[in-house]
Amino acid sequence: MRRPTLDDVAALAGVSAKTVSNVLLERPHVATATRDRVLEAVETVGYRVNRAGRGLASGRSGRIAIVVPNLHQPYFAETAERLILELAARGFTSTLRIAPDAASERDAVLTRTTADADGVIICPHYFVADFVDTALPDRPIVQLGGAPAGVVDTVVMGEREGFEAVTRHLLDTGRRRLALVWNPFSSGEPEGSRYEGFVSAHRARGLEPDPDLMVSGSDWDRRASGYEAIAGLIRTGRTFDGVVAINDAVAVGALRALRSHGLRVPDDVALTGFDDTDQAAFTVPPLTSVSPESEDMARNAVDMLLERLNGLDAPGRTRRTGAHLVPRASSAARS
């Protein structure tokens, strides 16, 4: 009951192991009759390739590392899910690395851990691109939703458009004093473009956002942060009739803060999120959000990675994906 090897298949098909290998790798120059015979033999003996042997001989593992800060935030879980499915469709295995802090993110990317993996797709939390520039990694890296950096490919989602759309939506349904709730780690570019969308939508309507209404909580946890930010606004006596949250998690926290301070959503305050995570549809009231078209993001990320694996040598590229408003009850117009 030994697990069958290439040689077993070869013997049965009456060819050499190399030919079997050629068939399985879909190499050119294999006669159709031979291929059929080999494939049949594969079936008969129940052969399955030994990844270790292949990996050793080819220098490739066929495995991509996906790095996320955690899986308990729906955005990361859903993104990881999409990536895994997309990679599987292209014949790659994925290994999931959880990198909750900057050090482990660095670790995961720079081969220290996850030594075997032909490439890395990372949803960065801290990733400031610094360490990628200082210590050049030895395999392709694609960043999903971070600030474009020198050497790595980046997929940026339609943050500017998305925030513009959601802000416009609120302004056009009669809201005038909009709060913007960041998450505490917003320092880099991407949050910048979110901010831009927020501002430009105001200006397009001849309005100017109130700087006093742009806040963030301090907590690591995004939802707690959203709660804290809104609680802070209320405590300091600011008034507002709409809240644009930087993502759904922050919005969920904000929602709870609004309710526990007696503000009704959407009657007193309209609320919007971003990412259109699964949870958005099931909050009470359902949360208006922006869908980042995550299938597109995943596909683009994998595309870029595979191009690199196929030998592409170029400076870091950037691809942009779209985003569209998903209106729900949390931002319904006041009756």
Quote the least distance from Cβ 290 to its own copies, whole Å.
Answer: 18
CB of 5 to DNA, least distance (A): 3
Please report whether residue 49 would count as binding its own copies according to CB under 8 A. yes
In the complex, least distance from residue 53 CB atom to its own copies, rounded to whole angstroms: 5
**Closest among 63, 58, 92, 97 to 80, alpha carbons compared:** 97
Instruction: Determine the Cα–Cα distance for residues 298 and 306; give it in Å rounded to an integer.
Output: 12
Contacts of 132 (CB under 8 A, 6+ apart): 109, 141, 149, 150, 151, 152
Q: What are phi and psi of 305, to 5 degrees?
A: -65, -45
Among 129, 165, 201, 255, binds its own copies (CB under 8 A): 255
Question: CB–CB of 125/105 below 8 Å?
Answer: yes
> Which parts of the chain fold into alpha helices (H)?
6-13, 17-24, 32-45, 51-58, 74-89, 102-109, 130-134, 159-172, 189-204, 222-235, 248-260, 294-309
Residues touching its own copies: how many (CB under 8 A)? 48
Q: Quick one: what does residue 186 bind among DNA, its own copies, none, with the CB cut-off 5 to 8 Å set by partner type?
A: none
What single string gives the DSSP state of each residue in 7-29? HHHHHHHTS-HHHHHHHHTT-SS
Q: Is the Cβ–Cβ distance between 233 and 180 less than 8 Å? A: no
State the binding partner of 17 from its own copies, DNA, none, CB within 5 to 8 A by kind.
DNA
Alpha-carbon span 230 to 252, nearest angstrom? 11
Helix, coil or strand: residue 321: coil
- Which residues from 80-109 bind its own copies, rule CB under 8 A? 80-81, 84-85, 88, 93-98
At its nearest, how many Å lie between DNA and the CB of residue 140? 18
223 contacts its own copies (rule: CB under 8 A)? yes
Nearer to DNA, 1 or 136 (CB): 1
By CB under 8 A, tell whether 239 contacts its own copies. no
Structure tokens at 74: 């729906």
Q: Is 210 in the site for its own copies (CB under 8 A)?
A: no
- What is the residue type of 94? S
Backbone angles phi, psi at 314, to 5 degrees: -155, 160
Token reading at 135: 């210590």
At its nearest, how many Å lie between its own copies and the CB of residue 211? 28
Asked if residue 52 binds its own copies (CB under 8 A), the reply is yes
- Interface positions with DNA (CB under 7 A): 2-3, 5-7, 14-19, 21-22, 24-25, 28-31, 33-34, 47, 49-50, 52-54, 56-58
Torsion angle of the four alpha carbons 159, 165, 166, 169, in this order, in degrees rounded to the nearest 10: 170
Taking the complex as a whole, the smallest distance from the CB of residue 111 to its own copies amounts, in Å, to 7
Q: Which stretch binds its own copies (CB under 8 A): 5-13, 170-178, 185-193, 255-263?
A: 255-263
Closer of 49 and 71 to DNA (Cβ):
49
Pick one of DNA, its own copies, none as the site partner of residue 34 (Cβ within 5 to 8 A by kind): DNA
Q: At 324, is the secondary structure helix, strand, or coil?
A: strand
Q: Is there binding between residue 72 and its own copies (CB under 8 A)?
A: yes
* Complex with DNA: residue 115 or 315, whichever CB lies closer: 115
**Could you say which of DNA, its own copies, none residue 29 binds, taking C-beta under 5 to 8 angstroms by partner kind?**
DNA
> Which of residues 95 and 173 has its CB atom nearest to its own copies in the complex?
95
Judge contact between 266 and 86, C-beta under 8 A: no
**Residue 283 contacts its own copies per CB under 8 A:** yes
Contacts with its own copies, residue ranges (CB under 8 A)? 3, 48-56, 61, 63, 70-74, 77-78, 80-81, 84-85, 88, 93-98, 111-112, 114-116, 138, 223, 252-253, 255-256, 259, 278-279, 282-284, 286
